[in-house]
Chain A
């Protein structure tokens, strides 16, 4: 964080909790009473809670989601994004980026931003409503950081930087696992490992591949959209001819899919056998639980994001049947944000996300679960400030969005840096936002709500101590 910063753009405070003293973090655990470390598990897991990671793959341009609404700020951004805004036909009156069409966000801490106003584009209408209802917070200028960093500290070599900035897979990995690929478990897995009970088969569920939830004996369950389809044998048993009605035959084939011998001489087969075994057991349990789901009247949109959120809503309804316990983390994603060109494609993608989350919220409210779930976005990085063409290149700082009944919403937590290349929170070349909120602070805040104790969080996020506030005050 900029220390004695007398720049005209002095940054707003990141959290109303300001400088916590030794009195520290009491009262931050989302309403749960603080207990001794030894009781962290027992207390932390009273009442069900679920974190839902929505990973926006490719690098979400936060500056194209949280848009400036006051005329001077809007003009400032538009000047630097001529190619993109022209592709949007800004000025036509019907453009998704026309200033008049932006939906005003009613920001409870708006005074921190002076005369600046903000809005969401029309495609985000349901989420603008959610923000104004107090169920969403925006996390401003967040990204991977080792320690507070500015353009000056970078140029003087005073800050340690995250490894391999601007590289998709490396930054995705640092966001979700704190390190480059393959080095550490995902922090979702860390939380589950600390807080899950004995049955760990379904505590981490993912609708797409990611290492985010894997750690030790927590292995992500690949959540299907709908149920598992019937196997071809179940669909067409006649192909087994004289064996079609044979229960022993079914059993033998099922056992074969579940376990095939120890293969003492071959590690690859042993691992494959383990996936087979775990797979068969969990698949059957899931199919049965899914079959007993009560029908719902909530209509989820008919695209991949909608289907993923529907699957999550169903899975939450199935938690007792699957013996999940009180803590669960979901991972879901949408690709398509690596907008080197054709960034107007964001309109469609953001609309899908807004509609899907809106339906999800409706389902959770109907189930009385909206206060127990928290959706949070992640992304590789943000994007470059200037868009001379129809898109933007890889950036660094971006905005994240947190939604749920427990979120103290209607606020922008953190900084929104003005669209000004000379601002010291941009890199000199390109320019790219340098984050002022770290992923570690974000994850630790989510973890604390989830029931993690402070000591455990500092172990999982060793860089947390480099920042003023270990808790962003989201809840």
Chain B
């Protein structure tokens, strides 16, 4: 249970952490997590940008490093999981050659609001120039009859379809409501999109009075809305009307409040957050428990601990409801479909956290992590999804599969191809066998140490037992176990001072590789 809890609520636990957790209270852990203040990196990045100091690596690399530093070393693990999950739902992706400061500003929003309130998050996102650029409503203006220009509909469509209520009306358990003919009911029509698009008008980049900083501030400060482009007329969408002459900021806030107040909002967001955290195909009952907490803004654990401030959309309530759900504390094994297929970033982070690496210098992370999102490695990087539709669709049911035949959603299967399986293995090998940053600065390189495992390398059974309980909760398939024994037989330690230590280490590395590439490791146990 400690294993399951810690691996669902964080990016992975070491043996020490697992042992220390036993006997402690999960609710205490969550409470402590929620008290940790968040970190924002924008100021530092702006300073580096202004000083033209990228230390040989791009701002993109630095931003990837910020994510991974958080995953691997952040004390606020629950926040990091939540922020990473949010970045896959309210997607803002760096996919073009545009100013990286916009992307970094969005990173801070995920960090700031991951344990805050979803409506506040959406408001900040709406005013972020990164999102204005990504979903093309920056410069969107009110209707102009003579040129035929109309407000851009992109953000209006996606904020409904992807960020708040989804395509169809949902019950609190995440299942679609059905009409008399058994068909799902559309949440919005094209008229609603047109009406809502009128809300997102008038946005322009921030314009500082200080001419020397105007350009750089326009890259990252919240957008403004200018009266000449803003639609002051009435706006009607989803049966609600914003009165004419409503000031721009109030009008955005009202629109967000309408979307968050919608019945579909809690289950739509809750189900996806559950998918990112604990289960690829959550049960309706689980979704309903979480959605209810999200809607009420409050979650009470079985031991009476409470989370959330009571405002609809409270992220603390949401995250607590997800990881503290009673099903994870009943000591029963998960059912056939109650698993999460972990995306490559989660798997890699688990390895990097659970095992011992040296010289984990955040400055070195810039060199290390920016390359791993490539298609021939993890094929996935934070804030680099191919589009606003993320790397996979929450409703993905794989064709010609056992999960598909059982009607289970398995979004992460969309990302898994023969090429990605090879790429993941290669990325692992770089860390487990080779280490990173040797050729940049050996003193500060990110190198495998694996001291605990080295102590066991001469006893394959003990070594595999250890890796089994550390990485897969004791569920390692016997076939895989035997393969590790057979592999170790082929890798003797040579009795030669030049080779002995490295031979030992390589036996450990290989054992880790087998477990880390096993399907037992890919799926939550």
Point out residues on A near B: beta carbons under 8 Å: 80, 82-83, 164-170, 181-182, 185, 209, 211, 214-219, 222, 224, 228-229, 231-233, 236, 239-243, 246, 248-249, 252-253, 255-257, 260-261, 263, 265-276, 278-280, 282-283, 335, 340-341, 384-389, 391, 393-394, 421, 429-430
Contact = CB atoms under 8 A, between A and B. Distances in A.
B147 A242 contact: no
Interface in B382-411: 386-387, 389, 393, 395-404, 406, 408, 410
Contacts of A255: 483
B479 A246 contact: no
Interface string B495-523: 00001001100100110001001111011
B483 to A, nearest CB: 5
B418 A279 contact: yes
Contact of A239 (B139, B340, B419, B429): B429
B494 A166 contact: no
A186 B157 CA distance: 26
B167 interface: yes
Nearest to B193: A166
Contact of B421 (A167, A218, A263, A279): A279
A276 B517 CA distance: 10
B429 A242 contact: no
A248 B491 CA distance: 11
A269 B519 contact: yes
B506 A241 contact: yes
Contacts of B400: 214-219
A260 B136 contact: no
A263 B477 contact: yes
A279 B421 CA distance: 8
Contacts, number: 209
B439 to A, nearest CB: 14
B419 A242 contact: no
B149 interface: yes
A169 B167 CA distance: 11
A272 B522 contact: yes
Contact of A257 (B154, B425, B429): B425
B184 to A, nearest CB: 10
A224 to B, nearest CB: 6
A148 to B, nearest CB: 20
Given A222-B419, A267-B403, A239 B190 contact: no
A269 B525 CA distance: 11
A240 B418 contact: no
B523 A269 contact: yes
10 interchain residue pairs of minimum CB distance? A388-B149, A279-B418, A386-B148, A340-B136, A388-B147, A243-B491, A249-B490, A241-B506, A261-B477, A232-B429
Interface in B33-74: none
B478 interface: yes
B435 to A, nearest CB: 11
Contact of B490 (A82, A165, A182, A252): A252
A450 to B, nearest CB: 21
Contacts of A421: 148
A166 B190 contact: yes
Nearest to A259: B479
Contacts of B337: 267-268
B418 A283 contact: yes
B413 interface: yes
Nearest to A224: B419
A215, A228, A243, A276 — which one has the most chain B CB atoms within 10 A of its CB?
A243
A358 B101 CA distance: 39
Given A241-B506, A255-B483, A275-B416, A268 B341 contact: yes
B21 interface: no
Contact of A233 (B336, B418, B429): B429
A261 B479 contact: yes
Given A169-B389, A242-B493, A267-B336, 9 more contacts: A166-B190, A167-B167, A181-B395, A182-B393, A260-B518, A261-B477, A266-B336, A271-B401, A275-B418
A299 to B, nearest CB: 24
A273 B510 contact: no
A222 B408 CA distance: 24
B424 to A, nearest CB: 11
Given A228-B422, A240-B510, A271-B401, A169 B393 contact: yes
A80 B190 contact: no
A393 B413 contact: no
B421 A276 contact: yes
Contact of A388 (B150, B161, B395, B478): B150
Nearest to B479: A261
Contacts of A241: 491, 499, 502-503, 506
Contacts of B336: 265-267
B519 A263 contact: yes
Contacts of B148: 80, 385-388, 421
Given A257-B421, A272-B522, A279-B417, A185 B502 contact: no
Contact of A252 (B139, B190, B341, B487): B487
A260 B476 CA distance: 10
21 contacts: A167-B167, A168-B389, A181-B393, A182-B397, A218-B400, A246-B490, A257-B421, A260-B479, A260-B519, A267-B406, A268-B403, A268-B413, A271-B401, A271-B403, A272-B519, A276-B421, A282-B418, A283-B418, A283-B422, A384-B150, A393-B150
Interface in B180-206: 186, 190, 193-194
Given A169-B393, A248-B490, A252-B487, A239 B280 contact: no
B153 to A, nearest CB: 6
Contacts of A270: 402
Given A268-B280, A268-B410, A268-B523, A393 B422 contact: no
A185, A241, A253 — which one has the most chain B CB atoms within 10 A of its CB?
A241
Nearest to B419: A222
A272 B387 CA distance: 25
B152 A393 contact: yes
B410 A271 contact: yes
Nearest to B148: A386
Contacts of B419: 222, 224, 228, 279
A80 B519 CA distance: 56
Contacts of B228: none
A166 B477 CA distance: 47
A227 to B, nearest CB: 11
A240 B502 CA distance: 10
A51 to B, nearest CB: 20
B357 interface: no
